[in-house]
A and B are shown apart, each in its own frame.
Chain A
Amino acid sequence: KNQVEQSPQSLIILEGKNCTLQCNYTVSPFSNLRWYKQDTGRGPVSLTIMTFSENTKSNGRYTATLDADTKQSSLHITASQLSDSASYICVVTGGSQGNLIFGKGTKLSVKP
């Protein structure tokens, strides 16, 4: 079964600290993996996209990694800001129909 699992479910950190969110997937065939940021009450916004051959992709303070062998990805946030408080959703495109398979997200709270 095609699944995307994220951990932790929620995370609280202090402003200025770094954090890393994890994503494990069992999707075959695999096309690409995206990380989305979703603010409360808003639609998701794409942060990064990685294909099979890419190991890392950065977008400002966000750095995503992908290990296609172990089917794991991480999203590292550097020097967190209050505005980073949101849910971060890992999304894998794949399967026989090329559908998007969403994780449940990690809810990040950045405290002053």
Chain B
Amino acid sequence: DTGVSQDPRHKITKRGQNVTFRCDPISEHNRLYWYRQTLGQGPEFLTYFQNEAQLEKSRLLSDRFSAERPKGSFSTLEIQRTEQGDSAMYLCASSSGRWETQYFGPGTRLLVL
């Protein structure tokens, strides 16, 4: 399968713990995006990378959130000191250019107890 993959698919954690998610984009795509989606809502933009550079961050991305794409390939999204409000589906997408179609991964569903 050469699509976007995400790991883990599901994560249950206790409030206050740190969690890290991984995204592997389509190999030739230089753009990688992170979104958050809550039940009944469309995805909300969090941040995006062009190669290894993080070019934009949403105001939704609080100081507890950090994303990296160290070698311009896979990316990680870390949430520190998780809160119950962080419970959501975290989606990763990649594209070959600014105006090109974004291909989404299956998402990581986070539940903070």
Residues of A within 8 A of B56 (CB): 97
Complex CA–CA separation, A36 to B107 (angstroms): 15
Contact mask A95-112 → B, CB, 8 Å, 1/0? 001111011110100000
* CB interface residues, A 31-71, toward B, < 8 Å: 31-32, 34, 36, 41-46, 49
Q: Which of B13-21, B62-70, B77-85, B97-105 contacts A (4 or more CB under 8 A)?
A: B97-105
**Which secondary structure dominates where chain A touches chain B?**
strand
Are A42 and B99 closer than 8 Å at their CB atoms? no
Classify chain B: how many residues form its interface, as a range.
Answer: 20 to 34
Known contacts A89-B42, A102-B44; A43 and B101 CB within 8 A of each other: no
**A residues neighboring B (CB under 8 Å):** 4, 31-32, 34, 36, 41-46, 49, 89, 91, 93, 97-100, 102-105, 107
